[in-house]
């Protein structure tokens, strides 16, 4: 059994650690530029006894990283004999290998969808199973496979409960996100663009609860899983995708407005999409941070179907221009509140070298205080100033639980290195 959790004012005291069993699929970009997915996957393995995992999907724009998931399952297999003595609900390693699938490779085109993958088909198959429980889809990377599943099988939408670690993932897969938002507005989804940062920012980081000290004391030397996790990121804990799983462990997974380990959220508002019929030239033009942005211009005379144009921001992010016949559209997202400058790179002389600027700003309170009537089940970060952790909106709704969720994690790491005492 998991350690008893503390009473916290306003908390619903539900979730998997209270005996609720949830169906779960995880889609991960493990093996990418940020190795925190490896950390989160190790954490996930320790909680496979309290949740019904139905899929682990590798979605990576550079190529399949299914082998990275299997590598961690191999570590789990070494610790499995000890883990089983603490909980007989841990699944056999081969059960986890059987549900590990390959998802989308590469980024989708401007429509946001492309062709079915093993991963997207698996989402459809699981969602259509004869099980009265909803299917929780936790997205740690690109949202492409979910978009494809909804495109191929829109009938599955009522069965889905999605927790999307957005931010950079949303920015990088903006076309898939745009497809879902425009075509499936009634989807039940938590869009955590920044709240998730409370897992590794703020909270009580004294002594053993610090990002490095926790790894030193409670992870290193703790079975094969601990030895795998310990050196990642130079021995520093991040685990930015873990809040999606923690959401199901402790709190009230049916109500995002209630507090829990995975955060607390508010109903999303309208007006997050900025569409301009020109290329902005001044920082006075504002867009909403984490929103979808579309800058369009009339297709220049002489610009052919073989010409290309790319909007390149000063931070290296790119938006490829799409020729839609009458307009040239640049679609992208930004995840930082600041002034952006950009330059157009094109083989068409009339566009190449054009420059501009715009500002990304938080949503004004007048807009975010009015829940969307179009997206009734869409939830997002709470921009209440009292819930910021540094510059990260909503992060305190997670960081306040730091000792609680780390204590439980530490207990399970102990399980990896030694069997339960015999009675």
pLDDT band at 6 (very low <50, low <70, confident <90, very high): very low
Contact between 328 and 303 (Cβ < 8 Å) = yes
Pairing state between β 293-298 and 274-276: parallel
Pairing state between β 189-192 and 160-165: parallel
User: For 213-247, what is each residue's pLDDT tens digit?
Assistant: 999 999 999 999 999 999 999 999 999 999 999 99
Percentage of the chain exceeding pLDDT 90: 91
| Residue-level pLDDT at 351 | 97
Q: From CA 251, how far away is CA 264, in angstroms rounded?
A: 9
| Residue-level pLDDT at 140 | 96
pTM: 0.95
Structural domains of the chain, ranges and CATH numbers in brackets: 16-269+370-417 (3.90.245.10), 274-362 (2.60.40.10)
User: For 238-294, what is each residue's pLDDT tens digit?
Assistant: 999 999 999 999 999 999 999 999 999 999 999 999 999 999 999 999 999 999 999
pLDDT band at 1 (very low <50, low <70, confident <90, very high): very low
User: For 19-40, what is each residue's pLDDT tens digit?
Assistant: 999 999 999 999 977 789 999 9
The answer, yes or no, to whether residue 377 has pLDDT greater than 50, is yes
pLDDT band at 11 (very low <50, low <70, confident <90, very high): low
| Residue-level pLDDT at 102 | 96
User: For 171-206, what is each residue's pLDDT tens digit?
Assistant: 889 999 999 999 999 999 999 999 999 999 999 999
User: For 157-171, what is each residue's pLDDT tens digit?
Assistant: 999 999 999 998 998
Percentage of the chain exceeding pLDDT 70: 96
| Residue-level pLDDT at 3 | 39
Query: 402-417 and 66-86 helices cross at what angle (nearest 10)?
Result: 80
| Residue-level pLDDT at 33 | 75
Contact between 257 and 380 (Cβ < 8 Å) = no
> What is the three-state SS of the chain?
CCCCCCCCCCCCCECHHHCCCCEEEEEECCCCCCCHHHHHHHHHHCCCCCCEEEEEEEEECCCCCHHHHHHHHHHHHHHHHHHHHHCCCCCCHHHHHHCEEEEEECCCCCCCCCCCCHHHHHHHHHHCCCCCCCEEEEECCCCHHHHHHHHHCHHHHHHEEEEEECCHHHHHCHHHHHHHHHHCCCCCEEEECCHHHHHCCCCCCCHHHCHHHHHHHHCCCCHHHHHHHCCHHHCCCCCCCHHHHHHHHCECCCCCCCCCCCCCCEECECCCCEEECCCCEEEEEEEECCCCEEEEEECCCCCCCCCCEEEEECCCCEEECEECCCEEEEEECCCCCCEEEEEEEECCCCCCCCEEEEEEECCCHHHHCCECCCCCCEEECCCCHHHCECCECCCHHHHCCHHHHHHHHHHHHHHHHCCCCCC
| Residue-level pLDDT at 12 | 53
| Residue-level pLDDT at 172 | 85
User: For 80-123, what is each residue's pLDDT tens digit?
Assistant: 999 999 999 999 999 999 999 999 998 888 999 999 999 999 99
User: For 114-158, what is each residue's pLDDT tens digit?
Assistant: 999 999 999 999 999 999 999 999 999 999 999 999 999 999 999
């Amino acid at each position: 059994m998991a350690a008893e959790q503390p009473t916290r004012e306003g908390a619903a005291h539900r979730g998997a650690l209270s005996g609720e069993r949830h169906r779960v699929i995880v889609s991960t970009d493990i093996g990418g530029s940020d190795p925190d997915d490896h950390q989160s996957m190790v954490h996930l393995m320790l909680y496979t006894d309290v949740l019904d995992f139905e899929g682990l999907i590798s979605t990576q724009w550079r190529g399949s990283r299914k082998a990275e998931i299997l590598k961690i399952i191999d570590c789990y297999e070494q610790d499995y004999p000890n883990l089983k003595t603490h909980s007989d609900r841990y699944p056999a390693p081969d059960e986890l290998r059987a549900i590990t699938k390959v998802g989308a490779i590469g980024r989708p085109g401007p429509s946001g969808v492309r062709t079915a993958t093993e991963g997207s088909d698996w989402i459809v198959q699981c969602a259509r199973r004869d099980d009265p429980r909803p299917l929780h889809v936790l997205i740690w990377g690109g949202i492409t496979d979910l978009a494809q599943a909804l495109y191929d099988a829109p009938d599955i939408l009522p069965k889905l409960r999605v927790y999307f670690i957005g931010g950079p993932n949303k920015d990088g897969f903006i076309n898939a996100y745009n497809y879902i938002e425009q075509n499936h507005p009634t989807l039940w989804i938590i869009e955590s663009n920044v709240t998730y940062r409370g897992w590794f920012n703020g909270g009580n980081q004294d002594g053993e609860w610090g990002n490095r000290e926790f790894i030193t004391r409670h992870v290193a030397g703790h079975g094969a899983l601990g030895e795998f996790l310990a050196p990642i990121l130079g021995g520093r804990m991040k685990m930015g995708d873990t809040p999606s799983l923690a959401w199901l462990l402790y709190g009230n997974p049916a109500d995002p407005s209630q507090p829990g380990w995975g955060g607390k959220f508010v109903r999303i508002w309208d007006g997050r999409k900025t569409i301009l019929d020109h290329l902005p030239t001044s920082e006075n033009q504002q867009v909403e941070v984490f929103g979808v942005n579309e800058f369009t211009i009339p297709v220049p005379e002489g610009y052919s179907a073989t010409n290309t144009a790319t909007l390149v921001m000063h931070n290296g992010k790119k938006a490829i221009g799409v020729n839609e016949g009458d307009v040239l559209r640049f679609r992208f997202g930004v995840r930082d509140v600041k002034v952006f400058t950009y330059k157009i790179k094109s083989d068409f002389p009339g566009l190449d070298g054009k420059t501009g600027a715009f500002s990304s700003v938080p949503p004004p309170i007048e807009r975010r205080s009015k829940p969307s009537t179009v997206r009734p089940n869409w939830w997002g970060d709470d921009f209440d100033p009292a819930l910021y952790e540094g510059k990260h909106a909503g992060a305190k709704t997670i960081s306040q639980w730091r000792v609680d969720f780390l204590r439980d994690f530490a207990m399970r790491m102990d399980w990896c290195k030694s069997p339960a005492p015999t009675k």
